[in-house]
Amino acid sequence: MTAATATDTVTATPVLPPLQIGRHVIESPVVLAPMAGITNRAFRRLCREYGSAGLAAGGASGATSLYVNEMVTSRALVERNEATMRLISHGPEEHPRSVQVYSVDPVTAGQAARLLVTEDRADHIDLNFGCPVPKVTRKGGGSALPWKTELFRSIVASVVREASPYAVPVTVKMRVGIDADHVTYLEAGRIAEGEGAAAVALHARTAAQAYSGVADWSAIARLKEAVTSVPVLGNGDIWSAEDALRMVAETGCDGVVVGRGCLGRPWLFTDLAAAFAGSSVRVTPDLREVTSVLRRHAAYLVEFHGDEVKGCRDIRKHIAWYLKGFPAGSTVRHQLALVDSLQALDDLIGGMDLGAPWPGEAAEGQRGRAGSPRVVALPEGWLDSQELTAAQREVVAQAELDVSGG
């Protein structure tokens, strides 16, 4: 983004110190949340570029934010699934290289961690205990798993045990609980801390909420009070740099995790890095700049997939997010959602009113699907006890088969 798109008032006082995740010092205390089908190498590259710009605007330098790849399963890693191995690939500019792993089995989790660290494929491992998707929770995985405290403890301990000799920190991402009556985050946070996790991140919603309603930031504050020796990160309803600053002020958290807020808006990392460095720089691009970013994202996706058609198909889901609030017209939007080549994308962009200014509030706020509250799909009798029964152990043993492609 050009200087014309931002306000340049800089103050000298950072809002938070750099984030310490094990041996890694993250200058801007911001984490890109892993999102399925989104946070591949191409999107991480864009976000990293804008995060670096934000640090410079704030007068700082060094490692920018932490950019986490989309979730892969421990089973798929151990089996060296081709698609999964591509997903965990990183560009030469990426450091720390961050991989999020989903697992329901301590043995497989440990084997996956061993592969990542002994083959030098990751500098940081994040464990997913927050996924609310029914195909995951109905087998006891994701946000359903911390309810079974000893299984949760065993998975964290197994991964930490494999990663520690290589100085690869392990972090835990989780939700408040399964629903309002089955809250797990405080106990899970203390267990993760006790088993050697380098940080814990809380999406302040239950699995039953999915992405609906409002995140309960007070839960982040309570987790921060309960977990005292490692950083606590807050996640949920951060749509702007101002939201991130407000979360820190209200909860005392050590950093923020940003997911849907950066969809179609990778320059949010400029805003965030600048804000935490004490700068008021904010990016307000016109349509010419936004479509330039869209085009660059498409080119990065083509490079990532090694196939122009696949890359252009992948960019389609991002188009509505990029154009949110702009007067692009329904016909052009529809045509953009069908692009199958970079030339077709160029032709469509060329026909748009590229001088349209940043639309302000219309382009801000929530993006991505919010959905609605629901009853969480769980294995039979899952909530009867926090210990696994023999039957539930069988169900959990099959959990990764449903998502083993990564």
* Measured distance CA(207)–CA(140) in Å, rounded: 12
pLDDT band at 61 (very low <50, low <70, confident <90, very high): very low
* Measured distance CA(75)–CA(287) in Å, rounded: 43
Contact in structure between 354 and 286 (CB atoms under 8 Å): yes
Q: Which residues of 321-344 are buried (b: 16+ CB within 10 A; e: fewer)?
A: bbbbbbebeeebeebbeebeebee
Examine the residue annotation and report whether 131 is marked as an active-site residue of this protein: yes
Mean pLDDT of 131-158: 96
pLDDT band at 399 (very low <50, low <70, confident <90, very high): confident
* Measured distance CA(99)–CA(70) in Å, rounded: 7
pLDDT at 62: 45
Find the catalytic residue in 131, 253, 262, 312: 131
* Measured distance CA(135)–CA(119) in Å, rounded: 31
> Thinking of the domain 287-358, which architecture would CATH place it in?
Orthogonal Bundle (1.10)
Q: How many CB atoms lie within 10 A of CB 236?
A: 28
The answer regarding whether domain 16-283 maps to CATH 3.20.20.70 reads yes
CA torsion through residues 372, 375, 378, 383, sign: positive
Please state the φ and ψ torsions of residue 72, each to the nearest 5 degrees: -125, 155
User: For the segment 121-143, what is each residue's pLDDT rounded down to a tens digit?
Assistant: 999 999 999 999 999 999 999 99
Burial of 395 (0-12, 13-18, 19+ CB in 10 A): buried
- Could you state, in order of their start, the residue ranges of all structural domains in the chain? 16-283, 287-358
Q: Residue 303 belongs to what H/E stretch?
A: helix 287-305
pLDDT at 63: 47
pLDDT at 3: 35
Helix 308-322 × helix 287-305 angle, to 10°: 150
The chain-wide mean pLDDT, for the chain, equals 92
Q: How many CB atoms lie within 10 A of CB 356?
A: 16
User: For the segment 336-361, what is each residue's pLDDT rounded down to a tens digit?
Assistant: 999 999 999 999 999 999 999 999 99
Q: How many CB atoms lie within 10 A of CB 383?
A: 14
Mean pLDDT of 8-17: 71
Q: Is the pLDDT of residue 10 over 60?
A: no
Give the tokens for residue 127.
Answer: 């464990």
pLDDT at 55: 53
Contact in structure between 254 and 232 (CB atoms under 8 Å): yes
* Measured distance CA(218)–CA(252) in Å, rounded: 10
Strand partners, 128: 173
Residue with tokens 């801390």: 193
Contact in structure between 145 and 157 (CB atoms under 8 Å): no
DSSP assignments along 250-301, one per residue: HH--SEEEESGGGTT-TTHHHHHHHHHTTB-------HHHHHHHHHHHHHHH
Q: Is the pLDDT of residue 369 over 80?
A: no
User: For the segment 108-122, what is each residue's pLDDT rounded down to a tens digit?
Assistant: 999 999 999 999 999
Give the tokens for residue 379.
Answer: 């294995």
Per mean pLDDT, which range of 170-179, 302-311, 391-400 is the poorest? Answer: 391-400
DSSP code, position 90: -
* Measured distance CA(315)–CA(252) in Å, rounded: 37
Burial of 218 (0-12, 13-18, 19+ CB in 10 A): exposed
Backbone torsion region of residue 388, taken as left when φ is above 0, otherwise alpha when ψ lies between -120 and 50, otherwise beta: beta
* 28 closest CA partner among 274, 273, 198: 273
Per mean pLDDT, which range of 18-22, 235-239, 279-283 is the poorest? Answer: 279-283
* 5 closest CA partner among 235, 273, 286, 211: 286
Q: Is the N-terminal amide bond of 357 cis, ω within 30° of 0?
A: no
Maximum Cα–Cα distance across the chain: 64
